[in-house]
Structure 1
């Protein structure tokens, strides 16, 4: 039962886990906030760009479509009934992840944190809140079928661990300036 819940949680969230990593690699270019300030501080900062956001969403969408194509075979191999991804969920998960990250950047600026500054808790779950929130709105039935309470709990417990681990690896490989 635990293995099944963990497998479904990771599988269903993969399209939301990938976008921020891709955005870091593909980022640069025009910032979303266009350099505007609010209350004397940047609205978002240079780290949130249109290119990074677009590439992040596209990568998450492509991954969701690929996972959808292999859900049956992968599920049979694992002995788990893995969910497919309707197009609304396939788009909402990565778009929501990016929206959550943008929202966290906005909160960081409002609380006086600079780009790259740690914001414990928010840094690990911002994209999850965005992804789950947008998906719950856009793909309500699918969301209800997939994200039952044990799966939601697994997402909330596993995500910070996975987030910290992947960020440390990205930092060690020189893709990030800080390990969080």
Structure 2
């Protein structure tokens, strides 16, 4: 099988600051998998396919935004940055979801907080299980 989906989303582009646009850990494989899983989850939950795709895209945009900011701050790919690694990835899909769902700003804040805690507690477990390469 071809490794073309293992290529970085940014194509290896390095900006004027000497750092990549996103980094090598943001691959087409991960992006496509996230969109497919989001769409499948939406269908399983009885939600519109487009909503699932949009929420998945929002999450991936949040993840890419975090990576972009971390590269501009000189952080290496796959390094942890508490808050920046969790908040955009949870908040952007919630903002996109306002098209389909009517939730309050308080609900959004609670969901972001829950995602933050869940991500911090499950990442070490995923590392132990061999799903993640790093415990964060």
TM-score range, shorter-chain basis?
0.7 to 0.9
Equivalent in the alignment of 1:101 = 63
Offset from partner CA, 1:18-53 (integer Å, 9 cap, x none):
xxxxxxxxxx61111111100211111111111210
| Separation in structure 1 between the aligned mates of residue 131 and residue 6 of structure 2, nearest angstrom | 17
Q: After superposition, give the CA deviation of every residue in 1:131-171 in whole Å (9 maximum; x if it has no partner).
A: 123333xxx2x23x2x2234213202211111112211111
Runs of 4+ in structure 1 over 6 Å off:
none
User: Higher relative contact order at CA 8 Å, sep ≥6: structure 1 or structure 2?
Assistant: 1
Unaligned runs of 5+ in 1: 1-27, 69-84
CA RMSD of aligned residues (A): 1.6
**Match status 1:134 vs 2:88:** no
Question: How many Å separate the matches in 2 of 1:88 and 1:119?
Answer: 31
* 1:154 alignment counterpart: 110
Structure with the bigger percentage of helix: 1
Give per-residue Cα distances to partners, 1:66-98, cap 9 Å, x unaligned: 011xxxxxxxxxxxxxxxx23332221111101
Distance 1:100 1:36 in 2: 19
TM-score normalized by the length of structure 1: 0.67
The count of aligned residue pairs is 131
Match of 1:48 among 26, 48, 63: 26
Q: What residue ranges of structure 2 are gaps of 5+ in the alignment?
A: none
2:8 to 31, 39, 43: 31
